[in-house]
Every structure is written in structure tokens, then in C-alpha cells.
Chains A and B, each alone.
Chain A
Amino acid sequence: MTSKQTLPAKFNGLHAFLDWALPTETLRLSKRESSSLEDIREFYDAVLAEMPDIIAYLRNAASYAEADASTRTLYTLMLSFADASLSMELHKSPTVPDGMPWEIWKPEHETPSWQRKPPIALQHA
């Protein structure tokens, strides 16, 4: 699945980490929780070095819906990087020490039901 994914040319150096570019929060978290801290560190260090350029790139990109495939892959990789950064910077562990297992804590925002939610429209008081 990931072998066909590509990154914007200027970020090709991160190609080795494309197996982190998983499509859902649940899959990404599952990968983090089952990786070694050493593997997470390798991923974190590599992306961190590119962070300023990546943020600049995202600031100039189109919305996710309109972005090209390589930009979407970069964004998805950055979501996994956010998970990885929590492990490296805060938890110092692939999982949450003293936390309940991630499988218990279910993201309702990833369910099919949530996808059928009516579009939000703020209702000003």
C-alpha cells in the first residue's frame, strides 16, 4: 500500500519513513504503540530536521480535498509525526505510561456514523 506513495520532490529524503503515512488515526496510533522507541526516534529526528520547510510547504498548499496525492501523503506523514513527537517529547515511551490502553479509548470522529454528521453551521446567539 505504501510502496506506491510519493512525497513532494523536495521531501524525498523522508521516503524511508513512508510506512508511517497510514490513512487513519487508529492505524497511525497502533503503529506508534507497537514500535520501539528507537524506531520512533529515527522517524522523529528525520522529520524534525525538515519541520520548518514542511510547515512552510503546508501553509502554501491547497486544502486536503484539493491537494495532490504527494501533498496528502506528506500531510498524513505529519499526522504520524505528531503522534511520534508526543512519544519522544512527553511520554518518553511508545505508549502512554500510566494511561489506559489505547484500544479502550475510541475515536468517535473516525466512525462511519460521524461521517454522516450534518455539516456544521455556527448559530450565532
Chain B
Amino acid sequence: MKLSDLQNTRWTLNYPELGTGPVSIDSYSSPDYFEHIKGLFSRTWLCTGKRVDEIPRPGDYFLEHIEVTGASIIVVRGTDGVIRGFHNTCLHRGTQLLFDDYGTVQGKLTCIYHGWSYSLTGKNVLVTEKSMFFDVQSMQKDLVPVSVDTWGGFVFVNLDPTPRESLREHLGQELLDLYGDYPFDTTTVHLSYHADLPCSWPVLRDSQLDGYHLKYLHRRSAPRFMESTDAPDRHAYDFKLLGKHGSGSFYGNRAEIEADLSAVAPVAALASRIGQTLASDTANRVDVKTWCPGVNPARARDWFFDFLYLFPNFHIVFLGYQAYIGHKMMPGKRVDQASWNARYYAPPVEANDLAGQWAAEYMKYSLRDLWREDGNTTVGAQRSINSGVFKRMYLQDQEILIRHAERVLSDEIQAA
């Protein structure tokens, strides 16, 4: 497919319910609206960005901090291999049970304060000096559970212990069919960057929801990667609205990327050949016809990346057959605070391949610098919103996922 084949396509017009007018920025600025967002994050499935391969053995755990509700969650693999989640709270005096963000416990969780212990199923197994307590039988002393499930090897949590829909219902059958065969299980996390930013969660969410900005904002860090002479105003091969979620597929100018790089950016060119970097010809490494149907749906040779937005808090950016980014975007304690965790996942690099390790580090630093460009836009936008000068957004067709995300957010809040 050529981009110019899509010259007359306007995806937004296929969804009349989205409209084409300016989009309100209530969710970006209103403290009242923020209370609704807080409620949403207390009852919906949230992708942690952590993978099952990060806690592979019984007792392996990670902590998930959900600042918007104040929750600290222990996600731990039980002695039976099942992954469960609990509030990180001893039922005696409320002390936090674990303090390190990652680790391994030996079969049980023991509070440092007075030695109460819990099994990895959350059941209280020891109240020290039990005879000195009163009416032990009626004390609610098991850990407070949250819901945990996995998809594609990602661990999701839902603070509601009895969620109104399962994770699979939340994701929806169409999304499961499109992405279920992606080889997530051959990959693991390579790096993780984090920032607490003075911007609202929707501003941060939107920073990764359009393909329109790459040609401009990332003109230095991804030079001419998305510039098409065939159809200069177009970047997208496809958009899909998948229930609450959405996807987009984007053009990459392979000839430009490869020809230019070797001449003016020899190190970038070398790293792209030794390992997998932003400039690697990933669409040509594994026959695109064999890819899962969701990624590069046009089966285009000139392809750069796809993204998949998982409502409400996670974006997957597919860079190739076995390489993708995860952006976890979470609201903070106030309407104009948010946190961003960006991770990159790919097959592990062999420890005895120092050249490959170097190329993986090159990829790490190039992503780090590129993401700094994204982060910078959010802070300034929030200042404009807070000042009251900026009142509404005008969105073009290739920003349809922002329009959709705001609509879904509003619908979900009204449905509560």
C-alpha cells in the first residue's frame, strides 16, 4: 500500500459520534473532573507495564504505586505459581510490609513492626503474642486483595477486588484477536525511565497518541524518518477504534533512513545493524506477512511503528516483530500532576555478546533522548491550560485517537 492511496481517507468521518469540532479540555484542568478520574482509576484495569518474566519464581514480587489513590500494591507470585495482588498494608497497625520496589520473599510476608505474617495467598498465618489480643477470631487480619490478571505477559491490576468486568472483557475480543499472536513471550524489559511531571494526566496521555508530531518534534532524533514525498501530509496507514482502546499504524521512509544515516550518522547506522535500534529495518527481518494481524496491518514495506492505546493508562509502541515500547501514564495526586514510566522490551541480549550489548545501550540512550522531547511539550501545554488562555483543542484527522480517548473517558465517567 502507498500512503497516497489513502489521500481521500478521513478516519474521523467514519465515526460521526466523535464529531469534528474543537475538543474541550475539562479533563486537563478541572479539579472536579479530576475526582472522577480518581474514581475511574479505582475501578478499572490498569497495566503495570511489568511482565510475568520479571517475577518468574515463587516469592518474586514488585510493588505498584498508584499515586492518584495513594495505594501501594504488592504483586507477588505464590508458591502455587499464581500471581496475586494485595495492598501493601499490615492489618495490625497499617505498616507497609515491603519497601523495595522489587525483590523476592521466602514463602511469606512478615511485618517489620510486630512480626505479623501472611502467606503469599494473603492469609494471616501469625499474630505474635496472640494471647494478649482480644477476640482474635473476629479480627479481619488477612491482607486486603486487589484483582490481578495478565494479557500478553503484562501484569494488570484492578483496585476493585470484584471488578465489574474481566480483563478480557475490558480489552475486548477484537483487540485480543488482533494482537494475541504478537510474540510478547520472547521479550523482556531492557530499560525503564521515570518522570514526575507538572502536567495533567490527559496531557501526558495525548503526548503519545498522535503520529502527527514525529516529523516535527523529533526532526533531529528521528530525522526524515516519517517524511513521505508521496503524500507529505499523511503519516498513518491505519487507525482502529477498538472499543475503549485504539490503534494507529505509521509510515517510515526506509530509503531515507538507511541512505542518509550511513553518510551523516555512521554510529547510528552501525548500531542499527549490530542490534535493533530506531533505524533498524525491522519490517524486513521477519516476513511481515507472518506478523500478528494488528501490527503493520497494511503489511507495508515502508513502515516505522504502530501504537496501541490500552485505556486508560498504557500505550504500546510496536517498533518491530519483537521490539516495543510501553508508556505507563498515571495521574498524580492533583489535576496538574502526572507520572510517566517508559520501558523498552525486546529479546534478552546474550551476556557474552559485548557488541550486541553496546548496540542495546545505544538504543537505550537514543530512546531516552527522544522521550525527553516528548516530555518537554507536556509541561508547557499544562501552563497554557492553567493560565486560562488555552481553552479548546483543534484536532486533525490523524489525531483521532486523542478525540476518541477523551470521548471514552467521558463515557466511562458518566456510566459510573
Contacts and interface: CB of A to CB of B under 8 A. Distances in A.
A120 B188 contact: yes
Nearest to B342: A105
Contact of B348 (A104, A113, A122): A122
Interface centre among A59, A63, A90 (most CB of B within 10 A): A90
A102 B192 contact: no
A64 B193 contact: no
B221 A82 contact: no
Contacts of B348: 120, 122
A90 B100 contact: no
Nearest to B197: A104
B266 interface: yes
Nearest to A71: B354
A99 B369 contact: yes
In this complex, the interface size class of chain B, counting residues with CB under 8 Å from chain A, is 35 or more
Interface stretch (A7-15, A34-42, A73-81): A73-81
Interface of B: 52-57, 60, 100-104, 153, 184-189, 191-195, 197, 217, 220-221, 223, 264-268, 270-271, 274, 341, 348, 351-355, 357-358, 361-362, 364-366, 368-369, 371-373, 375-376, 379
Given A105-B372, A118-B57, A90 B102 contact: no
B102 A118 contact: yes
Interface in A70-123: 71, 75, 78-79, 81-83, 85-86, 89-92, 96-100, 102, 104-109, 111, 113-114, 116-123
A58 interface: yes
A111 B62 CA distance: 14
Contact of B102 (A29, A91, A99, A117): A117
A107 B191 contact: yes
Nearest to B377: A98
Given A58-B358, A99-B369, A89 B265 contact: yes
A62 interface: yes
A105 B195 contact: yes
B53 A123 contact: yes
Given A91-B220, A100-B195, A107-B368, A116 B100 contact: yes
A114 B192 contact: yes
Contacts of B191: 107, 109
A108 B195 contact: no
Given A79-B361, A82-B365, A105-B195, A98 B373 contact: yes
Contacts of A123: 52-53, 56, 153, 185
Q: How large is the interface on A (under 10, 10 to 19, 20 to 34, 35 or more residues)?
A: 35 or more
B192 A96 contact: no
Contacts of A59: 353-355
B193 A107 contact: yes
A89 B352 contact: no
A113 B102 contact: yes
A25 B184 CA distance: 27
Contact of A116 (B102, B194, B352, B368): B102
B375 A82 contact: no
A75 B358 contact: yes
Contacts, number: 159
Given A71-B354, A75-B357, A122-B53, 9 more contacts: A29-B365, A51-B270, A78-B358, A86-B221, A89-B264, A106-B195, A122-B186, A122-B188, A125-B153
Contacts of A86: 221, 365-366, 369
13 contacts: A51-B267, A55-B270, A86-B365, A90-B223, A90-B366, A96-B369, A105-B375, A109-B192, A118-B56, A120-B54, A120-B188, A122-B185, A123-B52
Given A99-B376, A114-B102, A122-B188, A62 B352 contact: yes
Nearest to A62: B352
A106 B339 CA distance: 11
Nearest to A92: B220
A65 interface: yes
Contacts of B186: 122, 124
A98 B376 contact: yes
Contacts of A65: 351
A102 B372 contact: yes
Contacts of A85: 265, 267-268, 362
B375 A104 contact: yes
A112 to B, nearest CB: 8
A46 interface: no
A69 interface: no
Contacts of B223: 90
Contacts of A113: 100-102
A109 B191 CA distance: 6
A67 interface: yes
6 tightest A-B contacts by CB? A99-B372, A121-B56, A85-B267, A89-B265, A108-B192, A118-B60
A27 interface: no
B60, B268, B354 interface centre (most CB from chain A within 10 Å): B354
Contacts of B375: 99-100, 104-105
